[in-house]
Amino acid sequence: MTSPTREAFPPIAEAFNAFATTTLPNQIHAPPSPHTHRLRKLQSAHNLGAAARISTQNSLISQQVLRHPQEGAPPTTRNVNRSPQRNRANSDATPPPPPTPTIFPNNLLLTLNHKRSALSKASRVADAMSLDRLIREGPPDGDVNSALESARLKVLDQGIRSDSDGMSRTRIYFWLIFIDAPILDTNEYLALIHRGASPAYSKIRNDTFRTLTTDPLFRRRVSEASLIRLLNAIAWKLHDAKEERRPTSSRLSLAHTESASSSRSDISQTDASSPSARNRARALTLTTEGSDAATSEPGTYVQGMNVLAAPFLYAARSEVEAFAAFHTLLTKECPGYIRGAMDGVHRGLALVDKVLAIVDPKLSFYLTSKGLSAEIYAFPSVLTLCACTPPLPEVLKHWDFLFAYGPQLNIVCIVAQLIMMRNELLTSLK
């Protein structure tokens, strides 16, 4: 049995010609001319197969048009007259065609194309804009998702424009956008500063003078006073949130204990009536509140927060911007970092060991055999999101990537750093 040809269905060919020229002028081409079969013998086997598939598909669409004259979208066609496939060199039989897609009505097709073009248009506009212009003018056509995706790709491909010192006018704004930091009133930050020494003030002062002491860029731009103000304000903010979560009975007992201790101190010391003396006494007595290693409750300050806050102050154009970004990172992105036992840090260290064992089992086994787990060599990198690893301009680029795609990828970056120094580790630890 031979396959049906176009000449065997002249009414179908005429109907298809009328349908193709009036209904779908841009989507479907007219069927081949009667000379097509004579020209096929002069073509290669590849061109012959392609022409045969187009001819069969057009014939099937024509049959569906005649079979459903009143419907705009006929059901999916079936090749009822399809013959078994034969050798192309011996006959002109057409091979089985691919499934024919459903033909949509003109209005529905135009609507879908319009929606696709609208989405792609917003995405194309965002891709054509630079990062600085995207910050200055906002997302085109209000399409925030397309603008965010375009900004992430640009950060990954081009990076945020900055000078040799890592300074950029737009970097802090991208950080605030990527981590979804809320708008903060400057007066709220000033109110936290004017409250004086926080419960963790003594611990803060013990850490701030040691923050990135070997980095001249940081020491030249960021003063210790600004770092103290930022960490003290963060400690007050976390302290207030902790007090709100504390039951009422516990708060009353704590207030009673504080008043009793202050009364005893007033009796024993004659100069304790001055405000400065009271602030110093409170800072010394309450410095470890909420930061005990034996508890898993959120604290007010843990060691290492000073290094984690340093890049924010370096990249921000004001302390308020640095405060908003740093507080959002601690409370939304890495809440486990500020717990007394640093649960998030230890979980991250366990992930470093697991990822390294998957990526490079030989290096992982070698380090383990030498007694080197991630708890020993990766603790600062996990705690500070690699902010402790100089140089500082490279840290800022690293944070651009982390905030764009998630701080959890810091674990993968630490493992990548180990892989880069793999040969040195295998040779130096023998």
pLDDT tens-digit series, residues 148-175: 999 999 999 999 999 999 999 999 999 9
Looking at the predicted structure, is the pLDDT value of residue 376 above 80?
yes
Query: Angle between the 171-178 and 144-157 helix axes, to the nearest 10 degrees?
Result: 130
pLDDT at 85: 46
Position with higher pLDDT, 377 vs 250: 377
pLDDT (tens digit per residue) in 130-149: 888 888 888 888 888 889 99
Looking at the predicted structure, is the pLDDT value of residue 205 above 80?
yes
Residue 339: strand pairing partners: 298
Looking at the predicted structure, is the pLDDT value of residue 125 above 70?
yes
Q: Which of 316, 310, 315, 320 is nearest to 385 (CA)?
A: 310
Written as six digits, the tokens of 353 are 């060991």
Query: Whole-prediction pTM value?
Result: 0.63
Mean of the per-residue pLDDT values for the chain?
Answer: 73
Q: Which of 241, 396, 245, 243 is nearest to 331 (CA)?
A: 241
**Can you count the helices (H) and strands (E) in the chain?**
22, 0
Looking at the predicted structure, is the pLDDT value of residue 367 above 60?
yes
pLDDT at 142: 85
Q: How confident is the model at residue 242 (pLDDT cuts 50, 70, 90)?
A: confident
Residue 298: strand pairing partners: 339
Looking at the predicted structure, is the pLDDT value of residue 21 above 60?
no
Q: Which of 165, 85, 178, 69 is nearest to 131 (CA)?
A: 178
Looking at the predicted structure, is the pLDDT value of residue 187 above 80?
yes
pLDDT (tens digit per residue) in 322-340: 999 999 999 999 988 877 7
pLDDT at 13: 44
Query: 396, 162 in Cβ contact below 8 A?
Result: yes
pLDDT at 265: 41
Angstrom CA distances, 14 to 29, 66, 105, 264, 374, stand at 14, 11, 21, 107, 76
Share of the chain above pLDDT 90, in %: 47
Looking at the predicted structure, is the pLDDT value of residue 344 above 50?
yes
Q: What is the 3-state secondary structure (H, E, C) of 269-280?
A: CCCCCCHHHHHH
Q: Which of 385, 404, 398, 411 is nearest to 180 (CA)?
A: 404
Angstrom distance (rounded) from CA 166 to CA 217: 9
pLDDT at 135: 87
Looking at the predicted structure, is the pLDDT value of residue 19 above 90?
no
Burial 78-106 (b: 16+ CB within 10 A, else e): ebeebeeeeebeeeebbbebeebeebeee
Q: How confident is the model at residue 245 (pLDDT cuts 50, 70, 90)?
A: confident
Query: 39, 55 in Cβ contact below 8 A?
Result: no
Looking at the predicted structure, is the pLDDT value of residue 349 above 80?
yes
Q: How confident is the model at residue 287 (pLDDT cuts 50, 70, 90)?
A: very low
Angstrom CA distances, 200 to 183, 288, 292, 314, 400, stand at 26, 7, 12, 23, 30
Tokens 């990527």, located at residue: 178
What average pLDDT does this structure show over 408-429? 93
pLDDT at 84: 43
pLDDT at 224: 96
Share of the chain above pLDDT 70, in %: 59
Going along 294-392, which residue ranges are E strands? none
Instruction: Identify residue 329 by its one-letter amino acid code.
Output: L
Looking at the predicted structure, is the pLDDT value of residue 56 above 50?
no
Angstrom distance (rounded) from CA 427 to CA 423: 6
Looking at the predicted structure, is the pLDDT value of residue 373 above 80?
yes
Domains of the chain, by residue range, sit at: 6-80, 107-158, 182-318, 343-428
Position with higher pLDDT, 136 vs 111: 136
Rounded to 5 degrees, what are φ and ψ at 339? -75, 155
Angstrom distance (rounded) from CA 256 to CA 258: 5
Q: How confident is the model at residue 30 (pLDDT cuts 50, 70, 90)?
A: very low
pLDDT at 244: 87
What stretches of 68-167 show up as alpha helix (H) in DSSP?
Answer: 106-128, 131-137, 144-157
pLDDT at 273: 45
